[in-house]
Structure formats: C-alpha cells, structure tokens
Chains A and B, each alone.
Chain A
Amino acid sequence: MSAQANTLAAPTTAVQDSEASAQPLLQIRNLRKRFSLSGDFLDQLRFKGGKLVRHQEYVHAINGVSLDIQRGEALCVVGESGCGKSTVARTVMGLIAPSSGEIHYDGTRIDQLNSRQLLPYRKRMQMIFQNPYASLNPRMTIQQTLEEPLRLHHPGWNRQQVTDKVEEVMHSVGINPDWGKRFGHEFSGGQRQRIAIARALAVDPEFIVADEPISALDVSIQAQVLNLLMEAQQQRHLTYLFITHDLAVVEHFGTRVAVMYLGTVCEIATTATLFAQPRHPYTQALLSSIPRLDDDRPQHIRLSGEVPTPVDLPSGCVFHGRCPYANERCKQEIPVLQAQDDGTQVACHAVEEGRL
C-alpha cells in the first residue's frame, strides 16, 4: 500500500523539483513603502506666506528592495532598528500594502489581491511575530487559538479532524496537548512562542515569515525555539524569511543573508560568504560590532554618527554620511546591487570601483 503511494508520489515531486530550480518561491521587485506623517488632507494644509499650501511628510521605510527567496532556504534579513526589515516582512504577508513595487508568490502577483483572493495564499504563507505576549489572544484558550486558522482554511473539516490536527501540531512543538484548555497567560514566554509557532504550522504552510521570533526570549530559551524552527524546516520542507538583528543567529540559521540599511538592501550573500568576506562597508562594521566570547578586544570598526532619519533620506548612497570610504560619487549617485564573482550582490560604489 505504502509502496504504491510512493510510486505515485515520486513523479509529482520530480516535477516540483524541476520547477523549484526554475523559479523562486517568492520574488520581491523594487518594493517601496512610505508612511505618511502628516495626517489627513485638512491636517496637511498650512498657511505659508499668505497662501494655503499642502505640506506632506513621509517616512521612507523601504526604498526599492528586490529579493528572491528560493524554495527550502532560510533567507535572513538583518539590520538595525528602523532599517525597514519588519516592513518588508509585513508587506510580503499583505499586512500592509506597498506604495509601489511587486510581490510574486510562486509565479503569481499577490500584492494587488483583495483579502478574499489572498486567502489561498495566506494558507500557504504564515507569520510568527516577535512578542509572544502580544500575538496570542488573551481571551482565547490555546485550543481555540490553534483551531481558528484550521476552521478558516479548512471549512469542510469536521470536529474530529480539527482536534486531531491541533493535537498533532501541539505535539510537534513540544506543548502537552492536554494543556489546550489553558489560556496564553498561563504559559512562559518560550512556551507562548512555541504556541505561536504551532499556530503558524497548523495549516501546513510552505513559507513562514518570522519577524524577530526569538528576540524577546531568554538565552537558554532562544536555543530551544531556534532548534524547533530548524526541526520544522527539515520535517516540513519549509522556506523561511527570517527577520532578525542578531547576527549570531543568522550565522547559525540562515542559508542566505540580506543586509539592510535605511530601507535599502546593501548586500546579499550566502551566509558563509558574508561572514567570511563581508564586502559592503556597513556589513563589515556590523559584523565587527558583535560581542564575541573568544578574543578579548577585537578590532571594532567605528562608524561615525548615527543612522539618519528615514524622513529626509540622504542623497546618493544612504550610507555615505557614515562610510569611511565615501567620495563625491557616493553623495550623488544611488548605488545598485551588482553581482560579484562568487554570486554575492553588493550595492557600493567603492566595491564596484575596486577602491575597497
């Protein structure tokens, strides 16, 4: 019986494999998102020199981000707070609409779909949030929390099917299925994050967006949750978009890394390459600032100044004000991602000109 099932299943997986090499699971093309700071139309009106003028200000959260995510990989997006990494995650999930740009999931453009059209994709892509204290509904039991996505995405399932599935996912994340009647507040932070992961896994997604899933947890618990995410990836062949600021986690978990600064991607590389040979000056500074256990006082690349405000973006390369290698061209011309010999993509004039 099972042998027969295997022979039937084999050709379909072969087809999927050939497709996988051809097309990335998720394509982000020139994504931009700005948030208005000026309120509604009447708030924007100002008197200036006796005339009524309309004054608008925007936070430029993402400025032209393009990323491909291949099936089965864990793409990590790193950067400091305010660099737009969470906005990328939320835009991909359709939680906020992009200002411009395209998002293609498995070949279909999804950023313009309405919520009804998006529903089948929501089942295939799920999200895990940073704060497990805020992401679980305090008035629902764990059983209800986990049943909700199943009832939404499998309206035809009967009660038994739903409870069986809930039991299975609770088991797979190491939460005792007997605890289903408890509420979120009765669990510790690590357990809550496991429940949040269980909720994401309940509908058997193929793609998971995890926005700082372990940042709110203690060190010993971080390892548990990270192990769980890696196990789930192996068992369920998941693809991750993993947002984090913790470079040690990236080095351990990611297949590829995209480094973001002030709403733009400055470097994309495989994890091993990025940590062995960071190209972009910002990546170099970022890597040098991780506190390491081994060496006593490592060479720390000091950046002058602080991250500029995303309201008034710097001209040219967004990093030029803090970059030790910046010249006139960097102040005027925005660098674009360019592929290097080993496949790393770097957006830096200095790297392009061979000055670095």
Chain B
Amino acid sequence: MALLEVNQLDVRFALRQGEVRALRDVTFSLERGERLGIVGESGAGKSVAAFSLLNLISKPGFIAGGDIIFDGQPLTQMTERELRKVRGNRISMIFQDPMMTLNPVLSIGDQMVECLKAHRRISTREARAIALDRLRQVQIPSPEKRLDQYPHELSGGMRQRIIIAIALLLDPDIIIADEPTTALDVTIQAEIMALLLALCESHDVALILITHDLGVVSQVTQRMLVMYAGRVIEQGPTREIINDPQHPYTQGLLNALPQMATPGDKLNQIRGSMPSLTHLPSGCAFHPRCDFINRADGTPRSACIKQVPGFVTSGHCRVACHMVAEMLEERRLKEETP
C-alpha cells in the first residue's frame, strides 16, 4: 500500500459570491521515499493541495469530499488533536518564505527544542543535542553558535537550511515543501535543492515538492503532477512528462521556456491567461487557450467545450484531455482492425 493516497479530493471556499471549487477530483499517491513534484502557475491550486493534506485550509475553505489516507489512517476523519500528532511529526512542511516561518522572538535553539518537546517526552538537554545534530546535517557553519542566534541574524539561505533542519527534527515520513527556494538566489537555490535531495535520500523521506519551476522538478522529482485551474491535468513519471508531454497545457508550458527556443527567435507562448476559479470556462478549463480544440481536419471537437475531460492512460502517464483520448481511441481501433 502506498504511504499516502489521495482520492478525489475536493476543496471548496465558501465565498460571498458563492462556492469556489479550488480543487476538484485530485487523485494521486505517494510511495515511501518517493519524490513527487506538483507544478502549475499561480492560482492552479498547488498550494491548496499541499495545505489540505494536513487539513491546514482555513475558513472559508473546507474539504468538501474525498479521502486522504496516510499510512492506512484516514486524515480527513481525524480530530484536530489526532491531526496535531501527525503534523510536524510524521508529515512536516517547508514553506516559501523562511522569514515568515521562523518565530522572530525565539532563538533558533528554542524553536527546535519547542518542536521536539511538543511531540516527544525528552529533556531540554536531549532536545538540544538532537537539534545540534540536525543543524550539522544541513551543513550550517558553527552550529553551536546558531542555536543561540535569532532568525534576523541569519541570511535567507541560512534560514532555509534551519527550516529544513526543523522539518527533519522528528524523522518524518513525508516532507511537503511549498516553493522552498523561490525566495532565494540561483546559486543558493541550487545548494538548498541539492541539500534537500541528499537528506531525503539518506533519511528515506518522501518529498512533495511544489514549484512553478519545471527545471527544479525535472532534476529533483521522480513523478510529477501538472495542475491547471484546480485540477490535475497530467501525472506520471517526471522524465516521461518532460520528454514527451501529452496535455496541450504541459506542452505549452515546456515550450514557453526560453531554453526550448533558438536564441533570438519568438518564444512559443500560450495565449491568454489562467481563468479565475470563480469564472471557469465550460468543459475543459484550458479550452479557450488550447490550439487543439479543432481536429486536424478542421472539424471542432465539441467535447472540449461541453464536457470536463476524464483521465486516460497514455504510457505511464494519466492525462485529462479529449484530444489525447481521441488519439488513443483511434490508435486502438487501428490496431484492432488489421
């Protein structure tokens, strides 16, 4: 059985204008020690997906349906008290902004000891020893000194290392990292990503990496989900998606990267922008921006506009696209009639 299974997760926000469906039909699983990437543009729902795993969605948001099963236990049915034993302990999170995550009035050592003592019955001395060990693991120079320093005394890269150390404190099974390096510079970003990757491998921790950077996903993760307007539109092995994307949106995202075009040439842009969740287009949410809503012979594929596409399996990937479904169907028919 997978370590984490998410089935048909449905998250809504009850707003004055009516209910907004921030996530619909999100289904994926995560094996022990696996690294999964969630990609998408802002507003695609990738952060909501991560937050809802630990039921950290605050009002007016709520989980309207679906199951999250972690190590055989349904997280969606747990009480707040039971959830608190999982949060930070077996599933920990790393957030985007290292300044916002650390408490500015507590020293680094105090924050780490606080976290350890909340979950384990140990003495402060023992807790400090564990904290020091984790700081060494994240390769912070002079870790003994850092324990008594405050967050503002440290640089951004150093703070993010501390946060990784805190995330590792209780030997979690899963780390959820929400854009962990977006606020950092390229050289620091590469350092932190390499560190996170090495630690996940050595501790056998599963990683859910949320990012908009396809380069990072391709280097760090083994499987990935691509999200658009609250739905997962494509998922599968990272290499396979990067090398041979099926969904027109994934193709568009990859082709829009400057490294995919000859320098000086026009970039392959996706026209328009991501729809607001309050005004989702009918049918496939991507259809107003899609180049393939007409078949190759010019006839319109009306399903794109009328019907929300279901998942079809292509290779090791699952894709939600009418065009891909039709192509697979045609190929199957051809193979049947010799």
Contacts and interface: CB of A to CB of B under 8 A. Distances in A.
Chain B binds chain A? yes
Interface of A: 80-81, 188, 190-191, 218-224, 226-227, 230-231, 245, 247-249, 251-253, 271-272, 285-286, 288-293, 296-298, 300, 302-303, 306-307
Contact of A300 (B194, B214, B216, B218): B194
Contacts of B193: 291
Contacts, number: 114
A80 to B, nearest CB: 4
Contact of B186 (A80, A188, A231, A298): A80
Contact of B214 (A80, A219, A251, A272): A219
B185 A245 contact: yes
A272 B263 CA distance: 9
Interface string B267-286: 11111011000000000000
B157 interface: yes
A351 to B, nearest CB: 19
B3 interface: no
Contact of B258 (A221, A226, A296, A306): A226
Interface string B240-280: 00100000000011101111110110111111011000000
Nearest to B239: A296
B219 interface: yes
A293 B269 contact: no
Contacts of B187: 80, 285-286, 289, 303
Contacts of B126: none
B218 A221 contact: no
Main secondary structure of the interface of B (DSSP, over half): helix
30 contacts: A80-B186, A219-B253, A219-B256, A220-B41, A220-B252, A220-B269, A220-B270, A220-B274, A223-B267, A223-B268, A224-B269, A226-B267, A227-B266, A247-B186, A251-B258, A252-B258, A252-B259, A252-B264, A289-B190, A290-B186, A291-B215, A293-B214, A293-B215, A293-B218, A293-B257, A296-B219, A300-B190, A300-B194, A302-B191, A307-B185
Interface string B37-48: 000011000000
B130 interface: no
Interface string B197-215: 0000000000000001111
